[in-house]
């Protein structure tokens, strides 16, 4: 979240500077700092068609920092290497266990999962419950809002 707050502070400074000469400045910009998943109404707006608005941008930014938990084991870039875990680039929509050259557990390889956002969400909530026998020994995320943010970040990063 730090980066989000810093970016917002920067926007504020720029906005103030731009309005500095005006004696009664109209607010020209609305600053939205969103705690992902903070309440049900926010959770539901992600199922609506999403404009590429500030809320989405801050969700992706939050996901990028939450993904720090994953980078010890996972790369998220096109053509990136497998590390302790497989490269996660383009994982959404992909069959589980299909990164080239990565040695998966039998449990993952034969799970039959296709990684929709919902499947990713339940795996990240509790990897060992979702795929009993998985060799992913860390990375469980108990906070639903954080999972939502991480998945938004994975989707965003895979579009580049
Ligand atoms: C300690 C290392 C480690 C961490 C930390 C970790 N993972 Fe993993 N991950 C793995 C390993 C190892 C596998 C392969 C599991 C298997 O074969 O059973 C895996 C598999 C996966 C898969 C399935 C990939 C596929 O190709 O089917 C996803 C999705 C995933 N991890 C996401 C994440 C996310 C998101 C995070 C961070 C929140 C994370 N992982 C954190 C080691 C890790």
- The alpha-helical segments, DSSP class H, found in 20-143 are 40-45, 54-66, 106-109, 117-125, 127-130
Pocket of ligand 1 (CB under 6 A): 69-70, 72-74, 84-86, 88, 91, 96-99, 104-105, 107-108, 115, 120, 124, 134-139, 141, 150
Q: Which atom of ligand 1 is nearest to the CA of 141?
A: 38
**Is 101 a residue whose pLDDT tops 90?**
yes
> Which whole-number Å values give the CA distances from 55 to 17, 35, 41, 75, 129, in the listed order?
24, 9, 13, 25, 31
| Average of per-residue pLDDT across 39-51 | 51
> Which whole-number Å values give the CA distances from 13 to 20, 25, 57, 62, 137, in the listed order?
10, 14, 19, 21, 43
In degrees and rounded to multiples of 5, residue 114 shows phi and psi of -110, 130
CATH number, span 36-42+51-158: 1.10.760.10
From 116, 139, 150, mutation site for ligand 1 pocket: most ligand atoms within 8 A of C-beta: 139
Of the pLDDT bands very low, low, confident and very high (cuts 50, 70, 90), residue 55 is confident
Distance 77 CA to ligand 1 centre (A): 15
Residue 46 CB: number of other CB atoms within 10 A?
16
**Is 5 a residue whose pLDDT tops 90?**
no
Q: pLDDT tens digits, residue range 102-160?
A: 999 999 999 999 999 999 999 999 999 999 999 999 999 999 999 999 999 999 999 97
Distance 86 CA to ligand 1 centre (A): 7
């Amino acid at each position: 979240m730090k980066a989000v707050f810093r970016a917002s502070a920067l926007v504020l400074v720029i906005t103030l500077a731009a309005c500095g000469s005006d004696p009664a400045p109209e607010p020209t910009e609305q600053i939205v700092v969103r705690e992902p998943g903070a309440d049900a109404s926010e959770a539901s707006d992600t199922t609506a068609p999403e404009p590429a608005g500030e809320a989405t941008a801050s969700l992706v930014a939050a996901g990028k920092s939450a993904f720090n938990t994953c980078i010890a084991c996972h790369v998220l870039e096109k053509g990136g290497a497998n590390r302790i875990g497989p490269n996660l680039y383009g994982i959404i929509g992909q069959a589980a266990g299909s990164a080239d050259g990565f040695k998966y557990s039998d449990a993952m390889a034969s799970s039959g999962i296709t990684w929709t956002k919902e499947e990713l969400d339940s795996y990240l909530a509790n990897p060992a419950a979702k795929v009993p026998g998985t060799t992913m020994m860390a990375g469980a995320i108990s906070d639903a809002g954080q999972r939502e943010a991480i998945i938004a970040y994975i989707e965003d990063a895979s579009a580049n």
